[in-house]
Structure 1
Amino acid sequence: MRQTHRWPLIALGLSALLHTGTDNQATAAQNPARDPSGVAPDPTADTIVLGMGCFWGAEKRMSELPGVIDVESGYANGEIEGTYEAILAHERARRRGADEKRNHAEVVKVRFDPARVSLEQVLAKFWESHDPTQGDRQGNDVGSNYRSAIYTSSPEQAAVAERTRARYQAALTQAGRGAITTEIAPLSAYFRAEEAHQDYLRKNPRGYCGLGGTGVAYPGTASGVDEAAESPSPDPLDGATLERARQLVMFEAEYCGACKQFKAEVLDHWQSPVPVARSLSFSAPTGWTLDKPLFATPTLVLFEDGREVSRYTGYDGDATRFWSWLGGQILTPEQRRIAFEQGTERAFTGSLLDEKRSGTFVDPITGAPLFRSETKFESGSGWPSFFDPVDGAITFHEDVSHGMRRVEVRSASSGIHLGHVFEDGPPPTRKRYCINSRVLSFVPDP
């Protein structure tokens, strides 16, 4: 349900509204005829409606809690029609000042067995799974439809919600975090979301994954939360064991399909000069600093001198886009001009022009091999020249710029511009790969 950064934008299926008018206050547990499963729910089950930002990640995280029977995505407590298109259109109108009606929040309706999990345990999971201090937003998702909320069905539920808010606020304050903005109110309207949004991350394992919130644990008490029943938050990485000058950290989640895809397609072949580490914690390495809370997985954060300088969130199989981001952070301005703008260094100025040692010339971002030193020759052109690349290392592209027709050469791993290839090289290939020094790194043989 993304407006600005969705990976990828899904096509919406047609779905009838299941709750309208005065029936909007009914939950599936209270109205078996409206349960989309077609099965009358256990009458002993309880239900609460929670807003945690995007409901895709919220649905998945709440369903992981033992004792939760079912989690459904929906829209709640607005004054308009409860559909995806209507909510987005209304939020745009609100921002323009064209409509003051209250918008719905994206929510999940959590049905749980009180004999197996208490309401306080459900709410502990709620507090820990998002950042409740952000007002009308959650991470990059901005708007009143992404507000944090607890919508209750009884005074007893409201009392538990208020009590857990106070306990979690105390924990946040002790950790130096801000004030909770979560709305706690009776459920006044509820619409089941379109079918395309139900179980979205199960249907689309490479889609947007909610990561969690502040990293502050909900404090256990004798009143109901069994700390042993909750999985402990993973410890953050030890900053002392990392490369403080420049370090990349991949923040991931255990069941994140996009994380597994990134690992298989990028991390498992990592040769970049930038060291990378993986973390299941959503806290910065000890002694280091994140610029802002993490909100989705995978998120790749580049740290320099122990502080975040940039981040890359999400992965949909476009490795070249990731490498372009990393290159934009670690290359010099002159390198970026050549790599991303098809620039050219001045002849006879390249630092690798006279490099004659045995070794490998590699991509400066990915570290992937491009040319071996035994294929380098003196062409007199003023640029490093090679007669043969490493197999599969480069791609070829037609270039008709500057009134010429040439064949451009790019790195297959990162997609950056390297130079051009000509037909006036030495045997055995008769090719001359004319390459800019500034988009090469040299790794000497041991």
Structure 2
Amino acid sequence: MIAFISSLLLGACNDGESAAAGAPASAKPANTDFVVLGMGCFWGAEKRMSALPGVIDVESGYANGDGDASYEAVLAREKALRSGKGAGRNHAEVVKVFFDPARTDLEKVLIQFWENHDPTQGDRQGNDIGSNYRSAIYTRNDAQQTLAVQTRDRYQRALSAKGLGKITTDIAPLRNYTAAEDYHQDYLRKNPNGYCGLGGTGVKYQQAQAGASSIQTAQTVLAKAPPLDGKTLNFARQLVVFEADDCAYCRQFKAAVLDHWQSPVAVVRTLSTSAPTGWTLEKSLFATPTIVLFEQGREVSRYTGFNGESARFWQWLGYRLLTPEQQKIAFEQGTERPFTGSNLDEKRPGTFVDPVSGAALFRTDSKFESGTGWPSFFNPLPGAITLHEDVSMGMRRVEVRSASSGIHLGHVFDDGPPPTHKRYCINGNVLRFVPDAGKPAR
């Protein structure tokens, strides 16, 4: 059914010219926002997104891949990947959509995105096949990421009601972007009969309320509450969760994260829109929940919105708590050199915990001397870890992650002692040791 609808819409890009197409950079207002979108071939995507009122410029480019970013390089890399001679992730053909927040908002931009291509086709769009043609939303902040996921879920319900398939859109933070070559810019304006190859599903996006955004705005839903007293909080490092009385996402964050809070960072909730007294917010709040990390009474980072993706929250916090060496292990699947990490010789009774979430992982009585140079355990605490297939570095291994935060811990092997005969080989630098009560810390 999807292919049939797409075939009807294929090439239906002969829209009227838009003022946004080819708009010079100097025409952009100072408060211009942007988001990066992949809808298959960027020629048609550029024309479709330019047609939305409030969009002031659309630029074709390449994003979120590895290696060189040029048209020839992307095609060559895709050919290598498809023949099994390449590795990594290819760049996607994307458009960078610049819009004026005073005339339109991100949700309207995303509605145009969802309705004007088929986000269920995986690594293809119409007749264009390859990972470089994948559907994608690459975001520049947490608020964009949250709204992208929310609109995806809403559009999925509309697609499912029509019997269509699962959305495959890649939604992730923008990690790299390169503008495409000049001849790709405004291609269909310069070549009106050029190939478009862009088709939608024919399913309309259903908004929660006409003209309303999916994200709750702090100015309208936060209760009038007095600010927290800064003198009662941890001046060195404190998390403040700004919430609203009637906020489903706040309740979801509380249930998924706060109700199980064991992190070493102090956390407090508030219905106020203001910073704690004597403290400073970098900018006003615009959505709930907003989780702000204060250090020395000043905002140093914030996480806006929550849609159940706990691992993304812990990664945000982890980048503030962990050293660069720890970050490389936790979030890039790195490995410390043997005999160099922490906790290798720790034998006191106690618990080894996740350094970000504070959740318990292993007990000392399951630790043994493996001679490998990494802390080794024959048994984790119940529910503490998750296991994942790892085929990196030309090997087939089983990766160990923290169940609470999702950080990488190490790998598990089948050469351990009884009774489990397992060896959980863990990077000591991503373990924090908590001695049992009455035992001195060091």
- Normalised by the length of structure 2, the TM-score is 0.53
2:379 matches 1:372: no
Q: How does 1:375-386 map to 2 (within 5 A)?
A: 375-386=366-377
Name which of 428, 435, 440 aligns with 1:444: 435
1:296 to 283, 287, 302: 287
Aligned partner of 1:241 among 232, 245, 261: 232
Question: Is 1:325 aligned to residue 316 of structure 2?
Answer: yes
Counterparts of residues 94-133 of structure 1 (less than 5 Å): none
Instruction: Measure how far apart 1:294 and its partner are.
Output: 0.7
- Deviation by residue 1:125-179 (Cα, 9 ceiling, x = unmatched): xxxxxxxxxxxxxx979xxxxxxxxxxxxxxxxxxxxxxxxxxxxxxxxxxxxxx
Partner deviation per Cα, 1:406-426 (whole Å, 9 max, x = no partner): 111111111111011111111
Change (3 A) 1:347 1:86: closer
Tell me the equivalent position of 1:269: 260
Using a 3 Å threshold, how does the CA distance of structure 1 residues 380 and 315 change in structure 2: closer, same or farther? Answer: same
- Listed as ranges, the matches of 1:217-256 within 5 Å are 233-256=224-247
Residue 383 (structure 2) pairs with residue 389 (structure 1): no
Runs of 4+ in 1 over 4 A off after TM superposition: 85-88, 101-106
Cα distance change on mapping 1:103 and 1:294 into 2, 3 Å: closer
The answer as to whether partners of 1:375 and 1:388 remain within 8 angstroms in 2 is yes
Q: Structure 1: how far apart are the matches of 2:250 and 2:268?
A: 13
Question: Which of residues 334, 338, 344 is equivalent to 1:347?
Answer: 338
Give the superposition deviation at 1:208: 1.1
Name the counterpart of 1:199.
Answer: 209
Change in CA separation of 1:94 and 1:355 when aligned onto 2, cut-off 3 Å: closer
Which residue of the other structure, out of 244, 251, 254, is the alignment partner of 1:260? 251
Alignment partner, residue 360 of structure 1: 351
> How far did 1:199 drift?
3.5
Matched ranges for 1:394-433 at <5 A: 394-433=385-424
Residue in structure 2 matched with residue 308 of structure 1 by the alignment: 299
Q: Which amino acid aligns with 1:287?
A: G
**Aligned counterpart, 2:23:** none
Give a deviation string over 1:420-442, Cα, whole Å, max 9, x none. 11111110000110100111111
Structure 1 residue 396 displacement after superposition: 1.0
Taking the aligned partners of 1:103 and 1:414, their CA distance within structure 2 comes to: 37
Offset at 1:89? 1.4
Distance 1:200 1:269 in 2: 37
Question: Which residue identity does 1:428 align to in structure 2?
Answer: P
- What root-mean-square deviation, in Å, do the aligned CA atoms of Structure 1 and Structure 2 show? 2.9
Letter in 1 for 2:301: S
CA gap 1:297/1:200 in 2 versus in 1, 3 angstroms: farther
Corresponding letter in the other structure for 2:54: E
Matching residue of 2:55: 92
Contact conserved, 1:90 with 1:103, CA < 8 A, in 2?
A: no
Q: 1:282 aligns with which of 253, 273, 287?
A: 273
User: Structure 1's 102 and 295: CA in aligned 2 closer, same or farther, altered over 3 A?
Assistant: closer
SS in 1 for 2:433: strand
Identity of aligned residues (%): 63
Task: Write the deviation string for residues 301-345 of structure 1: whole angstroms up to 9, x where unpaired.
Answer: 001111111000000111111111111111110000001111111
Which residue of structure 1 aligns with residue 129 of structure 2? Answer: none
1:46: which partner in 2? none
1:265 and 1:386, CA in 2 relative to 1: closer, same or farther beyond 3 A?
same
* Partner SS state of residue 336, structure 1: helix
Q: Is the 8 A contact 2:230 2:276 kept in 1?
A: yes
Instruction: Identify the residue that residue 208 of structure 1 maps to in structure 2.
Output: 215
Counterpart Cα distance in 2 of 1:435 and 1:245: 30
- Distance in 2, Cα, partners of 1:248 & 1:382: 36
Change (3 A) 1:102 1:306: closer
- SS at structure 2 position matched to 1:93: strand
Shift of 1:265: 1.1
**Which residue in the other structure is 1:111 paired with?**
none
Q: For 1:370 and 1:411, locate their aligned partners in 2 and report how far apart those are by CA, in whole Å.
A: 7
Match of 2:276, SS state, is coil
Q: Secondary structure at the match of 2:330?
A: helix
8 Å CA contact retained: 1:87, 1:103:
no
Aligned residue for 1:209, secondary structure, equals coil
Report the structure number with the largest CA radius of gyration.
1
Alpha-carbon deviation of 1:196? 3.6
Residues 201 and 209 in structure 1, CA contact (< 8 A), matched pair in contact too = no
- Structure 2 counterpart of 1:380, one-letter code: G
Task: State whether residues 49 and 58 of structure 2, in contact with CA within 8 Å, keep that contact through their aligned partners in structure 1.
Answer: no
Say which SS state the counterpart of residue 260 (structure 1) adopts: helix
**Aligned-partner SS, 1:321:** helix
Summarize deviations over 1:23-73 as a string: whole Å, max 9, x none. Answer: xxxxxxxxxxxxxxxxxxxxxxxxxxxxxxxxxxxxxxxxxxxxxxxxxxx
Contact 2:289/2:304, CA 8 A, preserved across alignment: yes
Normalising by structure 1, report the TM-score: 0.53
The CA distance in 2 between the partners of 1:103 and 1:302, in whole Å, is 29
> How has the CA–CA distance of structure 1 residues 348 and 268 changed in structure 2, closer, same or farther, with 3 Å as cutoff?
same
Aligned amino acid, residue 357 of structure 2: T
Q: For residue 292 of structure 2, what is the amino acid of its counterpart?
A: V
The aligned residue for residue 23 of structure 1 is none
Residues 55-94 of structure 1 mapped to structure 2, 5 A cutoff: 89-93=52-56
Seen in structure 2, the aligned counterparts of structure 1 residues 409 and 95 have a Cα distance that, compared at 3 Å, is closer
Q: Quick one: structure 1 residues 94 and 439, their matched pair in 2 at CA, closer, same or farther if it must change by over 3 Å? A: closer
Partner of 1:159: none
CA distance 1:103–1:440, shift in 2 (3 Å): closer
Amino acid at match of 1:391: P
Q: What displacement does 1:366 show?
A: 0.5
DSSP 3-state at the match of 2:314: helix
Once residues 318 and 210 of structure 2 are traced to their aligned partners in structure 1, the CA distance between those partners, rounded to angstroms, is 32
For 1:418 and 1:400, how far apart are their aligned partners in 2?
16
- Asked whether the equivalents of residues 50 and 57 of structure 2 are also in contact (C-alpha less than 8 Å), the reply is no
Further displaced range: 404-413 or 425-434: 404-413
- Do residues 334 (structure 1) and 297 (structure 2) align? no
- Give 3-state SS (helix, strand or coil) of 1:250's partner: strand
